[in-house]
Amino acid sequence: MNDMKMNGMETIDPVWAWQPYQPSADQTWDRRSAAHLFRRAGFGTDLARIDESVKRSPADVVGELVAGNQEPSEFRSTAEALAEATLAGGDPAKLSAAWVYRLLYTPNQLLEKTTLLWHGHFSTGAEKVQDARMMWNQNQLLRDHALGDFAAMVHEISQDPAMLIYLDSAINRKAHPNENFARELMELFCLGEGNYSEADVLELARCFTGWEIKNKKFRKNRYQHDSDEKNVLGQTGAFDGEDGVRIVLEQPAAPLFVARKLVRFFVCDEPSPSDAMLQPLADLFRESDLQVAPVVQRILGSNVFFSSMSVAQKIKSPVELVIGMLRSLKATTNAGLVADGLLSIGQGLFYPPNVKGWDGGRAWINSSTLLGRANLMADILDNDSTRFDGKSLSEYLRGQDVETTDQAIEYFEHCLLAVRLSEEAKAQLRETAASHSGDRERRMRSLLHAVTSLPVCQLC
Amino acid sequence: MIDRPRLSELALSGMLVIAAYVAWPCDASAEPPRGADCVTSELLPQSIIACAEISDVGGVLETVLNHPLRAKLEAMPAYDGFMASGAPGQLQMGLRAFEASMGKPWQEALDTLTDRGVTVALDASDGGVAILVHSSEAELLERFRGFILALRQMQGATAKQGDYRGFMADLVGDDVKLVRMHDWLLVTNNSELGKSIIDQYLDRDDETLASHETYLAARKNLEGSAEHRVVSAFLDIKTLRDAGVAKDIFAEKIDNFVGEVALGGVLANLRHTPYVTGQFHLTTAGLSLQLTAPHQREWEAPREYFFGEPELAAAPPLLNVPNRVFALSTHRDLSQMWLRAGELLTEKGNDQLAVADTTLTTFFSGRDFGEDILGSLDSDVQLVGMEQDFSDVLPQPAIKLPAFALQFRMKDAAETKPELRRIFQSFVGFLNVVGAMNGQPPLDLGMESIGEADLVTATYVPDRDERESRSAKIQFNFSPTVAFDGDRIIIASSTPIARKLIEPNSDSENTNGVEDAVQDSNTAARLDVTPLKRILESNRSQLVANSMLEKGHGKEAAEAEIGLLLELLGFFRDVGLNLDVTDSQMALQVAVDVEADTEVQK
Amino acid sequence: MQISTNQSRRRFLRSSIGGAAAIGVGANLPSCFAQAASGSGGSDERILVVVQMSGGNDGLNTIVPYADDDYRSARPKLAIPSDEVLTFDDDNGFHPSMTGMHELLQDGQFAAVRSVGYEQPNRSHFESMDIWHTCRRKDEPRPDGWLGRFLDQQPVTAGGDVPALHLGREQQPAAVASSSIRVPTVKELSEFQLRGNDKQSLRKLLEKRQPTSTAGDNQLLNFLQSSTTSAIAASQRVTEAAQGYRSEVKYPETDLGNKLRVVAQLIDAGLTTRIYYVQHDGFDTHAQQAQTHSILLRQWSDAVSALVRDLDDHDHEKRVCVMTFSEFGRRVSENASAGTDHGAAGPMFLCGGGVKAGITGKRPNLTDLQEGDLKHEYDFRQVYASVLKDWLGTDPTPILGKQYKSLSLFA
C-alpha cells in the first residue's frame, strides 16, 4: 500500500482531477502526452498522426476520438462480411481472428477499445456458449452501445442468449428462480458487492422468472413468470425483468460503480480511487442519463489523465501490447496467429477466464505470460504476412527517415514506450542490435523484438 | 513518392555496375587449373547423397517466357492490378540492376551463366549443401559475384571474406559462402564441403561421386530419352538409411494405419532399395515429375495387401461422374491389412488401432470391423469427388464442399447387403442421439430404388426458420447415403453422387484414354481443375475472408489476390498421379497439364 | 560442455546452500545466491500431480477381486484369469498390465482407495466429471474447481511462476478454474523457453534489470522488472533442466509418458508450481473392452511409475504425490459386446514417496448393488480432504464446502 502514496491518487483534489487539462510548463502537450492519449483511448497510432495531433489542442483531439462512436458504414460492412464468412465455419476461435482484424483496421480505436472493456465487464466465454453466432451477436450489441446508452446495453444484455447461457440462466422457472443472473447483474455489472442484500438477489431473481432461451432465441414464458409482488432494493411491485433492470440502474451505487470501472480502465491500475474522487464522474454519468461518451470524454481530457498518476501507470493487456505495436507501426499481420497468441498469453477474445472477466493490472503478469509475450512478438515478427504499411520494417522505417540503430531506438521509444529509456538501457539495446550479423531488415526486426520484450514496454 | 523508386533504382544500378567492375580485376591472376574441364560429379565427394542437375536453364526460360499462357496472363485484369500494386516494381528494379551489371538482357545473362549446367548437391554430413554453376564465360560469373556482393551491401550486411588455397570466399548469407573458381561458381553452407570441392578442383586425385557405385547405377537408370528433361536427380537411399537419417521413414513399422494404407508398400520399398532417381520434364503442354526406384517383390513379405496376391494387382478404373473433381483408384486388401496390423504397425500404432477397433465394433453393432466388415469387401477401392449443384437446393450451405463417394465390391452381396444396410441405419440413429446433445440438426432416413439398385439415404432436417437459408451450416453439404447395386456398394457423402454412380444411363466406368492408363498402376489418381476452380469460385467470399485474416490484407488486396489465384488456377487442366509397380521397378509419376493452346481473349 | 558446467554449478549451489544452512550461516549468503539456489530445487513446497482417466475406468478390472465368484459370474468374458492377476493378497490383485504399480506397491510408494464415489451418482460423463471437478451438483453455481479454490487460498504471487499448470491439448479441466488466477494450458516444454532468431541476445538483454530514468518511483515498472528477470531465470532453469536432464528411467513413448516426463523436468527445474494436471483419455470401453483397457492401464501404470522412479532418482520423492481418478467406475456386469457400461464407484490411486502404502477400503460387495452399480464406501471429497490437509497443508473445509472426514493416506 506504499503504492498509493507514491501514486498520490488518495490526496488529490477531485475537482482539479477532472477539470479539463490545460497544457502547462509542468505538463506539456507533446509527443509523449499525445502518444499516451492514443494508447489509452485506443491501442496506439503512428508517429505522423501523433505529431499532427500535437499541433492541435488536446480537447480537440479527445473530442474527435469520442465523436467516432459509430463505425463508418463502409468499414462496418467489411467487418461484418468478414465475420459472416468466419461464422459459416461455426468455430468461435475463428471469430476471435475476425475481431483481431477489426482491431487492426478500425478507424475508430476508442470504439473498439470500449467494446473490449464491455466484453470483459459483461464477461461471456465462447468455451461454454459454444455458438459462434451468439457470441458475435453479443459483440455487436456491445459495440452498438459501447460509447452510448449504458442502460440500454444492460437491458439488452439481460436478454442476450450468449449471456444467459453463459450464466446457466437459459431456464428460469417460477418454482425455482435462478439467482445467477440476478446476482451478477448487481455484483458484477451495475452495483458491486455491498450494495445489495441476499434478499434482494432472491427478489430480483423472481422478476426474471419466465425469461428463457429457446432455440437460441430469447423469449418470455408467461407461464413460468412469477407475477406476484416483489420487494427489490427498497421498491415494491409486481415487477418483471425490465423493471428489475431499471430498479438496479436507479441505485446511486450504479454510476459510481461504472465510473470506477472506467477510471481503472482508462487512467491507472492502482490504487483504487476513493468514492469522493469518483463522485464528479458519477454525477456526470447520472446527469447525462447514463450515456458513456460524456464520461469517457471527461476522463480522457482531464488533468489527472495527463498527470504522472496516469502516464505509465497501467500494465498493458496482451491486446494493448500486440495491437499497440502493430498499429503504432501501421503494421498488418496474420489475424489468426494474433488471436491464438492472445489466448495463450491470457486474453483470448471471446474467451475471458471467468464471469469476472479479466482482472488486469498485475494479474496479467507471471513467468509464463512474460515469456509468452516475448515469444508471440517473435512469432509475429517472423511471420511473412507481417507488413508495415505494406512494406518491410526497414523500408517503412526508411520512409520515416530512420536508418541507423540509434534512430530506430529513438523512433520505437517515441511510438511504443510510455517511459523514456535511460542512456544505459539504450546502450544495452545497441549492444543487442550489434550482436546480429543479418541484413538491415533482420536487425530492425530483432531490435523491435527486443524493445517490445522490455519490461518498460509492458507499461501503458 | 513517384520519384523515389526511380532515383534509388538508378542509384542501385549504378552501384551494382561499379561494384561488379571493381570486383572484376582481382580475378585476372587465377590460372585455369586442371579441374576446369571436368564434369560436376568429378568435383563432388563420395559423401554426396543427393544431387540434382539442371540442364538447359535457357531452354526452360524460353519455354516459360514464350508460352501461350504468358500472353493470357498479361491480358488478365488481375495481372494489371498486380503490376500496378508496386510489388513487382522491386523485381523489375532488381532485374534492371542485374542486366546493368551483367551487361546483357537478363534471360541471355542467365542462359550464359548456366550454360554448362547447374548442380545442387546434398552432403551426408550436417546437411551441407553445395550449388555448382558451370559457365562458358568466367568473366560473367565474376560479374555475377560482384552483383551479389553489392546487393548484400545494399541490404546493409557487413562484408566478410576468407581465403582458401587462393580462392576468395565471401559470406553472402547467415553461413552461406560464395566462391568462384574460374568458370565454376560454388555456393555452399558448409565450409568442409566447400574445401573438399576446391581441393578436388585443384588436385583431382580423390575418389569422387563420379566413381561411386550407386551413383553410376542411378546414372544408368537415367539414361534414355532426355527430351524436355530439365532436372535429373539422384538420391542415395542406402547411405541415407545406413547413416540413420530420417529414421521415421525407414523405420520398419509405422504408427499410422492410414499412412500404411496409402504408402505402406512404398515405404517398405524404401527400406531396401539402393537409390531413387528423379526426372522433371517441362514442355508447352505441361510438366511432369517421375520418381523411380529399383523394386523386388521378395524384399518385403507381409505387404500382399498392397501389391496384390499372388501376383501384382492393378487398380480398378477411375470412376467418372459429371463435374468430377477428383478420382482415385487403388488395389488394397483392407481386411488383410487390418488383421495383420500386428506385423505392419508399431506397438503404438497397434494400441491406437485396438482402441479404434473397440469404437468401430461398437458402431458396427458388435460385428468385428476387420474380419466381418472389411472382410466382406474385395480389394478394389475407388474414390471419386464431385462438385455439388446447389442451384435449386435450399437450405444452401455457406461453405460449399464437394461430394465424395467410396465404392467397393462385395464378395457376397446377398449376405453383406442387408447387414450393412442395418448397420448404416443404426449408425444414423446413433448420430442423431449424439447430435441432438450437441445441437446438431437431425438426420431423416429414407429409402429409394433406381432400377435394381437400392439407396438408403439420410438427410439433414433444417430448423423451421432456416429452411430458406443460403448460409446454412456446413452439415448441409452432406446427406450420407449407402447404395447397393449388384455387387457394388457405394458409401457417399451425399445422395446425388450416389445416384449418379448407379443411374444406368451414366457410364460411370467409362473407359476413355485416362482410365486406360490405370491398367498397369497399383494406384492412380486424377484431379480435374475446372470443377475444382468452380468450387473455389462459389466459396470466393470465404477465401477472401481467409486471405484477409491470414495475410492481414485489406479487402481490395485480398479480393485481388484471390481473383488472381483463381485465374491462375484456370491455366491448369488436370493433375494425374500414378504408382506403377513392376517386378523390378517402382515408379511414381505426377503430371500437370496446362491449358497450352488457349487463345488469348480480349 | 556448457550444459554440464551449468548442471554442476546448480548442483554445487544446491549442495553448498544446504551445507551453509546446516551450519547456520545461510543468512549471510548474498541474496542472489540464495534465490538462485532456492530456484534450482531448494523449494520444498509439496507438489500434487493429478492424472485424470477420462471416460470412466473399469475399477473392477483394475484392482481385481480375483477370488470372488460373483466377479467371475458377472464377467464371463471380461474377468481376468486368476493366474494372470498380479496378486497382493489372497483375494485381490492388479490387472496384469500394471507391473509398474505392482512394484511401486512393494516398494511402499503406492496407495489405493477402493469404492470411491458420491451420493446419487450421475452416469453422464460430463456431469459426473463436473461433480468431481467442482464438488458441486448441477443446480448449484460452479464457477470454479476444487484445485482452483485451493489456489485462491494461497498467498498471491503475481509475477512469479504459475501456481498450477495443465499439460496437454485438451480443453482445460474445470478442476483448476479459479476466480483469481488463470491457469495456463501448456502443450510443450518449448513454451517455457524464448523463441526466435535472436533468443540468445534477448535473454542476455532481459536477464539483467534495465536501468530506466523513472524506475525508482514507478511501482508497476519495478514489479515488471523483477518479474521479467525471474521469468528469464525460470526459463533458463527449465532449458538447463531439459538439456542436461539425465534420467535413468525410461518413460514410455506415449502421450502420457511424454507429459509426465515434462512434469518431472519442470519439477526438477525448481518451478514453484504446485499443481500439475494431465489427462489420459479413452476409458469409455463399451465394446471389446479387454484389449483396449489393458493398453490404457499399461500406458498409465508405466508412465506414472516411471515418473515416481524418476523423482526418486532426483530426490523429489518426498515432495511429489501423483493422484489418479476417473469420473466413475463401470457397471459390474459386462454387456453383450464384451464391454462395460457407465457405472458408479471406483478406485482412486496415490503414488509417491510420501504416501502410506497399501489399499484402503473393503473388497467391493458385488451382490449389494444400486441399479447394477457398486455402492461407494468413501466420498471422493474424503480423499480430496486428505490430500488438501495432509499433503498440501491447507484447511479443506472452505474448499470442499463442508467438512469431510479425511482418511489416513500419507505417511
Q: Which of C127, C156, C182 would best serve as a mutation to test chain A binding (most A beta carbons within 10 A)? A: C182
Mean pLDDT of C41-61: 88
| Rounded-to-integer distance, Cα A387 and Cα A393, Å | 7
pLDDT at B19: 52
Å from C139 to nearest chain A CA? Answer: 9
pLDDT at C12: 35
- φ, ψ at B88 (rounded to 5°): -75, -10
Å from B424 to nearest chain C CA? Answer: 18
Question: Which tops the pLDDT comparison, A384 or A233?
Answer: A233
Residue of B421, B558, B401 whose CA lies nearest to B472: B401
- Residue B505 touches partner A, C-beta closer than 8 Å: no
Instruction: Please classify residue A215 by burial: count the beta carbons closer than 10 Å to its beta carbon, then call 0-12 exposed, 13-18 middle and 19+ buried.
Output: exposed
pLDDT at B33: 56
| Rounded-to-integer distance, Cα B142 and Cα B24, Å | 6
Label the pairing between strands B380-386 and B403-409: antiparallel
pLDDT at C14: 38
Residue A81 to residue B541, Cβ atoms within 8 A: yes
Q: Which of A78, A80, A82 would best serve as a mutation to test chain B binding (most B beta carbons within 10 A)? A: A82
Q: What are the residues whose beta carbons fall under 8 Å from the beta carbon of A49, sequence distance 6 or more? A: A38
Å from B338 to nearest chain C CA? Answer: 15
pLDDT at B24: 46
pLDDT at A65: 94
CB < 8 Å to A420, chain C: 212-214
CB < 8 Å to C214, chain A: 312, 419-420
| Rounded-to-integer distance, Cα B102 and Cα B148, Å | 11
Å from B175 to nearest chain C CA? Answer: 14
Chains that touch A (3 or more CB pairs under 8 A): B, C
Nearest chain A residue to C172 by CA distance is A127
Length of chain C, please?
411
Angle between helices B68-75 and B77-84 (to 10 degrees): 70
Residue B361 to residue C287, Cβ atoms within 8 A: yes
CB < 8 Å to B348, chain C: 253-254
Question: Nearest by CB to A453, which of C160, C191, C206?
Answer: C206
Nearest chain C residue to A4 by CA distance is C219
Å from B358 to nearest chain C CA? Answer: 5
Q: Which of A6, A359, A366, A393 would best serve as a mutation to test chain C binding (most C beta carbons within 10 A)? A: A366
pLDDT at A215: 82
Task: Classify residue C191 by its DSSP letter.
Answer: G
| Rounded-to-integer distance, Cα A204 and Cα B413, Å | 67
CB < 8 Å to C228, chain A: 370, 455
Mean pLDDT of A135-160: 97
Length of chain B, please?
602
pLDDT at B8: 52
Q: Is the peptide bond before B395 cis (omega within 30 degrees of 0)?
A: yes
The overall average pLDDT reported for chain A is: 92
pTM of the predicted model, to two decimals?
0.82
| Rounded-to-integer distance, Cα B302 and Cα B311, Å | 14
Question: Nearest by CB to C337, which of B348, B355, B366?
Answer: B366
Query: Is the predicted pLDDT of residue C25 greater than 70, yes or no?
Result: no
Q: Are C335 and C286 in contact (CB under 8 A)?
A: yes
Residue B552 to residue A334, Cβ atoms within 8 A: yes
Mean pLDDT of A327-339: 96
Query: Is the predicted pLDDT of residue C39 greater than 80, yes or no?
Result: no
Enter the C-alpha cell of residue B329.
483408384
pLDDT at C404: 96
Give the residues across from C86 on adjacent strands: C94
User: Using one digit for the tens of pLDDT, what is the confidence trace for A65-76?
Assistant: 999 888 888 999
Residue A88 to residue B155, Cβ atoms within 8 A: no
Nearest chain B residue to C297 by CA distance is B351
Residue B366 to residue C292, Cβ atoms within 8 A: no
| Rounded-to-integer distance, Cα A233 and Cα A228, Å | 16
Q: What are the residues whose beta carbons fall under 8 Å from the beta carbon of A9, sequence distance 6 or more? A: A268, A271, A273, A274, A277, A309
- φ, ψ at B190 (rounded to 5°): -135, 115
Query: Is the predicted pLDDT of residue A18 greater than 90, yes or no?
Result: yes
Question: Nearest by CB to B545, which of A82, A385, A439?
Answer: A82
Mean pLDDT of A77-86: 90
State the pLDDT confidence band at C214, using cuts at 50, 70 and 90.
low
Q: What residues of chain B score a pLDDT lower than 50?
A: 1-7, 22-30, 506, 508-517, 600-602
SS3 A205: helix
Query: Is the predicted pLDDT of residue C144 greater than 80, yes or no?
Result: yes
| Rounded-to-integer distance, Cα B365 and Cα B428, Å | 12
Interface of C with B in 273-302 (CB under 8 A): 282, 285-289, 291-292, 295-296, 299
Go through A64-81 and write b for each residue having 16 or more CB atoms within 10 A of its CB, e for each that does not: ebbebbebeeeebebbeb
| Rounded-to-integer distance, Cα B364 and Cα C117, Å | 32
Q: Are A113 and A43 in contact (CB under 8 A)?
A: yes
Distances (CA, A) of B501 to A22, B402, B507: 80, 15, 8
Query: Is the predicted pLDDT of residue C292 greater than 70, yes or no?
Result: yes
Residue of A212, A258, A206 whose CA lies nearest to A227: A206
Query: Is the predicted pLDDT of residue A233 greater than 90, yes or no?
Result: yes
CB < 8 Å to A89, chain B: 399, 474
| Rounded-to-integer distance, Cα B130 and Cα B49, Å | 12
At which residue does the C-alpha cell 553472402 appear?
B172
State the pLDDT confidence band at A216, using cuts at 50, 70 and 90.
confident
| Rounded-to-integer distance, Cα A180 and Cα A30, Å | 48
Residue B361 to residue C289, Cβ atoms within 8 A: no
State the pLDDT confidence band at C273, using cuts at 50, 70 and 90.
very high
Distances (CA, A) of B371 to B335, B340, B488, C339: 6, 11, 19, 19
- Residue A421 touches partner C, C-beta closer than 8 Å: yes
pLDDT at B12: 55
State the pLDDT confidence band at C200, using cuts at 50, 70 and 90.
confident
| Rounded-to-integer distance, Cα A251 and Cα A234, Å | 10
Kindly report the number of other CB atoms within 10 A of residue B72's CB atom: 18
Go through A90-112 and write b for each residue having 16 or more CB atoms within 10 A of its CB, e for each that does not: bebbbbbbbbbbbbbbbebbbbb
